[in-house]
Amino acid sequence: MSNTENLKIAIAGGGTAGWMAAALFARFLGATAEITLVESDAIGTVGVGEATIPQIHNLIIGLGLDQAEFMRATNASFKLGIEFVDWLREGHSYIHSFGTTGRPVGLIPFRQLWLRGRALGVAEDFGAYSVNIAAARQQRFSLASLKSVPDLAYAYHFDAALLAKLLRSYSEARGVKRIEGKIERFERDGASGDITALTLEGEREIHAELFIDCTGFASLALGQALDVPFVDWSQWLPCDTALAVPTEGGEQLRPYTQSMARPAGWQWRIPLQHRTGNGHVFCSSFMEVEEATQLLLDTLETEPLADPRPIRFRTGHRKEFWSHNCVGLGLAAGFMEPLESTSIHLVQSGIARLLNLLPGDRHNLSQARQTFNRQSTVEWERIRDFLVLHYIANEREGDAFWDHCRAMTPPDTLREKLEMFSNSGQFVREDDELFLDDSWAQVMLGQGIEPRSWSPLADNVPGEDVGPFLAALEKQATTIAAALPTHREFLTGLVGRAPETA
Ligand X SMILES: Cc1cc2nc3c(=O)[nH]c(=O)nc-3n(C[C@H](O)[C@H](O)[C@H](O)COP(=O)(O)OP(=O)(O)OC[C@H]3O[C@@H](n4cnc5c(N)ncnc54)[C@H](O)[C@@H]3O)c2cc1C
Of 29, 463, 480, 46, the closest CA to residue 242 belongs to 46
Task: Check: CB of residue 200 under 8 Å from CB of residue 206.
Answer: yes
Candidates 74, 77, 215, 315; binder of ligand X (CB under 6 A) is 215
Contact pick of 51, 123, 392, 441 for ligand X (by CB under 6 A): 51
Q: In what order do the strands lie in the sheet with 205-207?
A: 183-188, 195-200, 205-207
Q: Which residue, 399, 462, 349, 456, is CA-closest to 58?
A: 349
- Tell me whether residue 99 or residue 330 sits nearer to ligand X (CB atom): 330
- Give the phi and the psi of residue 112 in degrees, each rounded to 5: -70, -40
Measure CA 146 to chain center: 26
Residue of 9, 18, 87, 358 that binds ligand X (CB under 6 A): 18
User: For the CA atoms of the chain, what is the radius of gyration?
Assistant: 23
Min dist. Cβ of residue 342 to ligand X (A)? 6
Shortest distance in whole angstroms from residue 127 CB to ligand X: 22
Beta carbon nearer to ligand X, 50 or 209: 50
One of 7, 10, 33, 50 touching ligand X (CB under 6 A): 50
Query: What is the pattern of x (binds ligand X, CB under 6 A) and - over residues 273-312?
Result: ------x-------------------------------x-
Q: Is 282 helix (H, G, I), strand (E, B) or coil?
A: strand
What is the rounded CA–CA span in Å between residue 218 and residue 38?
A: 15
44 contacts ligand X (rule: CB under 6 A)? yes
214 binds ligand X (CB under 6 A): yes
Q: Which of 331, 405, 414, 473 binds ligand X (CB under 6 A)?
A: 331
Q: Cβ neighbours of residue 319 under 8 Å, at least 6 residues apart?
A: 228, 229, 230, 231
Looking at 216, 249, 411, 451, which residue binds ligand X (CB under 6 A)?
A: 216
Binding of residue 40 to ligand X (CB under 6 A): yes
Q: Is 242 in the site for ligand X (CB under 6 A)?
A: yes
Is 442 an interacting residue with respect to ligand X (CB under 6 A)? no
Instruction: Give yes or no for residue 494 binding ligand X (CB under 6 A).
Output: no
- 14 lies in the binding site for ligand X (CB under 6 A): yes
17 binds ligand X (CB under 6 A): yes
Binding-site string for ligand X from residue 166 to residue 205, where x marks contact by CB under 6 A and - marks none: ----------------xx----------------------
CA distances from 104 to 114, 147, 168, 219, 422 (A): 10, 17, 44, 45, 20
Which residue, among 55, 53, 110, has the nearest Cα to 82 in the 3D structure? 53
In 183-273, DSSP assigns E strands to 183-188, 195-200, 205-207, 210-213, 230-232, 241-248, 257-262, 265-271
Nearest to 392 by CA among 402, 384, 382: 402
DSSP letter at 105 equals B
Q: Of these, 9, 11, 16, 354, which contacts ligand X (CB under 6 A)?
A: 16
Beta bridge partners of 178: 37
CB nearer to ligand X: give 279 or 446.
279
- Please say whether the beta carbons of 243 and 296 come within 8 A: yes
180 DSSP β-pair partners: 39
Which CB sits closer to ligand X, 267 or 455?
A: 267
240 contributes a contact to ligand X by CB under 6 A:
no
- Does 341 engage in binding with ligand X (CB under 6 A)? yes
Q: Site residues for ligand X, window 108-147 (CB under 6 A)?
A: none
State yes or no: residue 39 binds ligand X (CB under 6 A).
yes
Query: Cβ closer to ligand X: 216 or 265?
Result: 216
Binding segment for ligand X (CB under 6 A), chosen from 216-224, 231-239, 368-376, 425-433, is: 216-224
Site residues (vs ligand X, CB under 6 A):
13-18, 38-40, 43-46, 48-52, 160, 182-183, 214-216, 218, 220, 242, 244, 279, 311, 313, 330-332, 338, 341, 343-344, 347
